[in-house]
Structure 1
């Protein structure tokens, strides 16, 4: 039954459930919890709650924290927070103590609904109940405040997280860095990025670096942007298409066309194919700088590769050769 529920075949699991008694095997709480979890996985939470009511009538066992948490999770994932909170309160009234996982589910549900006040209220309930918040809880509440634009509260929670010696994970860093960049608080996002770089246990993805690089490029501080790129490389994080495009656009905006071309060549050398935005931005910049022949050469080489139907690697190699870029063979 557990195997069938895990692969989403809940109806087949119910066939086994219904035939148990004929084999002299009576279902227990684990059986019911398995089916409830399976129903919630496929989004049939109302039917899962019906099973909860069935357990309540059973003379030999009662629902436990696992039973309630599964259904609460199902309602949270479907955005039905009123139902989730009603069950949460019912659970407490029945003398069943919610655990950290239960609180994290409800807090995450409120966070995704943009209800930061309710998320914070649940956090305080967890503390009052003697639970120690973990990185998942802190990250969810920080995310909820970032979604509503209350970055100051997010940063206070960040400070509290550090005071409690709870280590942030890559998601905590990512959420805060993106939110700070969006609010044009570049120096703070830069500080967080420095702290992230010191963590030997985390190798960040390019999407964490990209908004900070983009922010400094748009602010005209290319030296700082290039410094972040160097840190990114030292950390073992490979640039993606967005990283290269941001850098090309940034250098073009400052009139540093030769550096933009060098970045474009590097993009090709690592097998990262530019898109239309990258190409049009670079060629437009080159023409404005009086480098029409270089722009035409890039466009012509790209056009030939598109028409030739070469593979991505062949297109990159061919384009590099046309631009007189050394190619390792």
Structure 2
């Protein structure tokens, strides 16, 4: 009715009678304040009661307050309030400990959470299934499946037989194994779930479907989807989104359309992810007209997202489709303007990056100039796209001018410098390249393994293998570890110029430096030798 929380508190306090009133009324007020998504109101009630009225609310009221703090504030904010509660002499119950465990697991502090868990047990506070589920889920999310499974197996023993796993427990384990790609174990856990009389739910199947799709096993994912239907479980929008996204990624637009029709027939409403998947899937598979038509339909129904993601996706693929796409790009931009928005920095960045990748530098520069006219400041990603595009398209002098502009605003990074370095070598401007590399070396933060690989590639092409080896030694001396690309450049060029013994020596030296050989380069250089010598070797190989 418009009264503030403190006015309501005063009214309750003035009418409070120790003999006939219930103290739970103040807990109720705190719950109401917390439910309004403003925990500061609840906190003011707690502190006002304590300091001005000498009244302690129950630990249940604190738990409710802390729960909302955890949902709306940082983990650090939660712990500050939790420690304050303890300082007032409150004794935690299982719900308090569950909140602490949830906060620690959310902050990826698993082993601290386990310490709190054992403190519970020592204090005679028995955990409930939620307690176990949070620890198990935290272990699974951190990839420690052995710990998660160990806790799962000991739930009964640690709770004196009172606690049994539920669907949440199994789903956490299944999700953990799916994230690791161990679908065999995930299926075993699912079977164990069924044997215990706990039927897999939609979330169980959604997790397994996602796991198979991550491994590229679309057939297995579709099999599970059919199995769900056989169990009278209706696949939800998450399941459909995962499958349709994977089908579009594989280019199977026909089967993607089949699943879309299933969604419509079973009245599964599309969400913003479905819309994004549709627009991107149609666009990347060449159905730009259909993607545009779907976007127009969303706009007409006022269903389009307000973040510009769909428009940026359309613009990116329209640019990639060819030079005749300009009218359609203008149409999308006009639609944005008609809705009262202006193209943002992401929209311009999308256009510029796509133009650069299509080697349409004039269009990229025009988009850049339009962005400046609209008062938008380019970010590092946009600058890097232009520098990289100019450097690759024999316009390295223009790239240098752009780099100078970047320096003025303090946005130069190693990516932009590497693009210019590569451009100089590509344009045979060796002195400029070497001078730039020396400048990069002076500031250790502006040189990385990519920088050295660019130098290595040039040296191998126009110099000697001995000079290339010196570049490798320079890398190591400056604390930059060679990678498989370095291996491919050095060994691949040595194979064409040096004897087999020298190539083997280079290979061994790179392996000693911790480089994992590039398989393709290794097979090209040593494949025939390994086949020939395998007749005489009982074990091992050059790779060993």
Runs of 4+ in 1 over 4 A off after TM superposition: 204-207, 246-253, 259-262, 279-285, 298-304
Deviation string 1:185-227 (CA, Å, 9 cap, x unpaired) is 2222222322333453542544533443344343313212211
What does residue 46 of structure 1 align with? 146
What does residue 242 of structure 1 align with? 349
Q: Relative to structure 1, is the Cα distance of residues 85 and 91 closer, same or farther in structure 2, using a 3 angstrom cutoff?
A: same
Return the alpha-carbon distance in structure 2 between the equivalents of residues 85 and 46 of structure 1.
Answer: 16
Shift of 1:65: 0.5
Deviation string 1:110-132 (CA, Å, 9 cap, x unpaired) is 22221111111222222222223
Shift of 1:230: 1.6
Q: Does residue 227 of structure 1 match 2:335? A: no
Q: Relative to structure 1, is the Cα distance of residues 23 and 227 closer, same or farther in structure 2, using a 3 angstrom cutoff?
A: same
What does residue 426 of structure 2 align with? none
Partner of residue 305 from structure 1, selected from 397, 401, 405: 405
Q: Contact 1:39 / 1:45 at 8 angstroms: preserved in 2?
A: yes
Return the alpha-carbon distance in structure 1 between the equivalents of residues 364 and 189 of structure 2.
Answer: 58
Q: Contact 2:218 / 2:243 at 8 angstroms: preserved in 1?
A: yes
Normalising to structure 1: TM-score of the pair? 0.76
Shift of 1:300: 9.3
Q: Relative to structure 1, is the Cα distance of residues 21 and 282 closer, same or farther in structure 2, using a 3 angstrom cutoff?
A: closer
Q: Does residue 179 of structure 1 match 2:273? A: no
Q: Contact 1:65 / 1:98 at 8 angstroms: preserved in 2?
A: yes
Q: Can you give the 5+ residue segments of structure 1 that lack an aligned partner in the other structure?
A: 288-295, 313-329
Q: Does residue 104 of structure 1 match 2:215? A: no
Partner of residue 255 from structure 2, selected from 125, 129, 153: 153
Normalising to structure 2: TM-score of the pair? 0.48
- Alignment size in residue pairs: 299
Q: Can you give the 5+ residue segments of structure 2 that lack an aligned partner in the other structure?
A: 1-100, 412-544
Q: How does 1:1-329 map to 2 (within 5 A)?
A: 1-55=101-155, 59-203=161-305, 205-217=307-319, 218-219=321-322, 220-235=324-339, 236=341, 238=344, 240=346, 241-245=348-352, 263-269=367-373, 270-273=375-378, 274-275=382-383, 277-278=385-386, 302=402, 305-306=405-406, 309-310=408-409
Return the alpha-carbon distance in structure 1 between the equivalents of residues 354 and 121 of structure 2.
Answer: 67
Return the alpha-carbon distance in structure 1 between the equivalents of residues 318 and 106 of structure 2.
Answer: 46
Return the alpha-carbon distance in structure 1 between the equivalents of residues 385 and 110 of structure 2.
Answer: 47
Q: Contact 2:155 / 2:165 at 8 angstroms: preserved in 1?
A: yes
Return the alpha-carbon distance in structure 2 between the equivalents of residues 29 and 284 of structure 1.
Answer: 59
Task: State which drifts further: 32-41 or 16-25.
Answer: 16-25
Q: Which has the higher contact order (CA 8 A, sep 6+)?
A: 1
Return the alpha-carbon distance in structure 2 between the equivalents of residues 180 and 23 of structure 1.
Answer: 59
Task: State which drifts further: 50-59 or 84-93.
Answer: 50-59
Return the alpha-carbon distance in structure 2 between the equivalents of residues 223 and 118 of structure 1.
Answer: 43
